[in-house]
Structure 1
Amino acid sequence: MAASWVTRRLFCAVAETAAPVKTGRWERLKNSRAGVWCRSLCSDYKEACREVVVGAWERPIKASVYVALLGGAWACFETKPDDLSFDKALLERSNQLGLLSAWIRSSASNGHVQSLVKLRNEGCLRHISLGLLTLVYRADYDPEASLYEACCSNLSVPWRELPQRVLDVGFAGRWWVLDSKMKDYDVNEEEFKHLPAHMQTATAPGAKEVERNESLHKDSWLPLEMEEEEKGINATAGKQDGVVEQEPMKSLEEEQTPAQAKA
């Protein structure tokens, strides 16, 4: 019996090894090279994320600094101005200067804006995006020009001359050079160049000076109040004037004759 049982088990084992194992399509895909590579990649990313979470929990200050830097970079990238915003800002500044008289507008602001407008009309303004900021620089020719100097790549402007040709920097939704040039655009510095040095610059008044000026302005609208001594002096002066004026009238009546009085 034991020999027969052993023989039967041997035949069953041979049959199981000889029979092909039926596997599904998903199993074959998981065991393929691509499936093994994807599983190892997912496990690596899972382990990396776990290490990031554990590191942030152990060092919260360092993690906060990294998050703040990433958030600031993303905000700068989203608020980065483009070439259309520069054209819009340039036209607005030109219109603001055009509403002022030539005797009032600042020469520095007017010269900077007029030079930019001239380059824009000539098609020599270029815009380049550097990720977090945008640069506006000056070119020599219009891109649509058919001149040999404009089309030949060997005669193009080298990159080392780009810092010298930069006209404006766009960062955080602003054009910093244009805004700085337009500061006090309605003040003509030429009017005050003949004044002394201490009168050419003016400082903003403090809070106490502003309050004092406002109180003086309010007091200027109030009626004048005279003191009692001044009132008494004015009254006595008025009486004396009245007596002096009446005395010559009485002397004229006394000098008249009775015949003249009856007439």
Structure 2
Amino acid sequence: MASFRTVGRMFCSVAQTGAISGSVSRWEKLKNSKAGVWCRSLLSDYREACREMVVGAWERPLKTSVYATLLGGAWIFFQTKPDRSLFEAALLECSNQLCLLSPWIRNATSDGHVQSLMRLRNEGRLCCASLGLLCVIYRADFNPETTLYEAWCSNLSAPWRELPQRMLDIGFIGRWWILESKMKNYDVNEEEFKFLPAHMQSTSSPSVPEVEKNESLHKASWLPLTMEKEETNAV
């Protein structure tokens, strides 16, 4: 029985040694294969590129700061770029603001611009194009869902060089610049003041002495009235 145990232990040790040698040989074969050599060379190139980048940043900090600022700014602009849904939300908000005002006090420029955009939106002719760091809203000739031949024929489609004439708004840094500029003073109807004299059509900010004078008069209006003796006797 002891001899059988000794032979079994010998066979187990030989099998374990063969397994270890087989695994090492397979790993060595994998390292020396074409894929292994390619991966090692790729990692070496990346390691060398990272080392050169760190050394270059240490030697030229100003240039590195400029590049980092440009890359960070481009990333922020890309993340804050609005899309079509945000434009429609802003357009509906502007339309609601104008609807709360009487037609007599609405700004004609703001009202006309918003009404034209709403008409294009209802017709399905508002399109959005992403240009990397910004978005452009432009008008199309037809609704994309229409089945007319003129809408699907590539030879009849509008060329890209006409995009500046069709552009309606620019989305950048989370804002729609043309829509915001058109909505400036949307509650001031300039037509009401065109018949006034020239000196009354334009207003200027009051100076500091005028503001102080108005404040003093306003505070004096809170004080109780005082009557002099002559006025008291007359009464």
Offset of residue 43 of structure 1: 1.3
- Aligned partner of 1:136 in structure 2 is 137
Q: Number of matched residues?
A: 214
- Aligned partner of 2:146 in structure 1 is 145
Offset of residue 224 of structure 1: 3.7
- Aligned partner of 2:58 in structure 1 is 57
Cα deviation digits, residues 85-141 of structure 1 (max 9, x gap): 111110010000000001111000000000000000001000011111110000000
Q: Report % sequence identity.
A: 69
- Aligned partner of 2:44 in structure 1 is 43
Q: What aligned pairs does 1:56-75 form with structure 2 within 5 A after superposition?
A: 56-75=57-76
SS in structure 2 opposite 1:222? coil
- Aligned partner of 1:165 in structure 2 is 166
Show structure 1 runs of 5+ residues with no match. 1-20, 240-263
CA separation of 1:57 and 1:226: change in aligned 2, threshold 3 A: farther
Q: Distance in 2 between matches of 1:215 and 1:49?
A: 69
Q: Distance in 2 between matches of 1:207 and 1:41?
A: 70
What's the C-alpha RMSD, in Å, of the aligned pairs?
2.2
Q: Distance in 1 between matches of 2:84 and 2:61?
A: 40
Amino acid at match of 2:82: P
Show structure 2 runs of 5+ residues with no match. 1-20
| Greater Rg over alpha carbons, structure | 1
Amino acid at match of 1:156: S
Cα deviation digits, residues 130-184 of structure 1 (max 9, x gap): 1111100000000111111101111000010011101000011111110110010
SS in structure 1 opposite 2:171? strand
Q: Distance in 2 between matches of 1:207 and 1:37?
A: 76
Q: TM-score, length-normalised on structure 2?
A: 0.84
Offset of residue 205 of structure 1: 3.5
Q: Distance in 2 between matches of 1:197 and 1:67?
A: 53
Q: TM-score, length-normalised on structure 1?
A: 0.75
Cα deviation digits, residues 39-97 of structure 1 (max 9, x gap): 11211111111111111112222211111111111111111111111111100100000
Q: Distance in 2 between matches of 1:219 and 1:117?
A: 51
- Aligned partner of 1:11 in structure 2 is none
Q: What aligned pairs does 1:1-263 form with structure 2 within 5 A after superposition?
A: 24-206=25-207, 208-225=209-226, 231=229, 238=234
Q: Distance in 2 between matches of 1:43 and 1:197?
A: 77
Tell which deviates more after alignment, 217-226 or 96-105.
217-226
SS in structure 2 opposite 1:167? strand
SS in structure 2 opposite 1:153? coil
SS in structure 2 opposite 1:128? strand
Q: Distance in 2 between matches of 1:197 and 1:177?
A: 29
Offset of residue 206 of structure 1: 4.9
SS in structure 2 opposite 1:85? helix
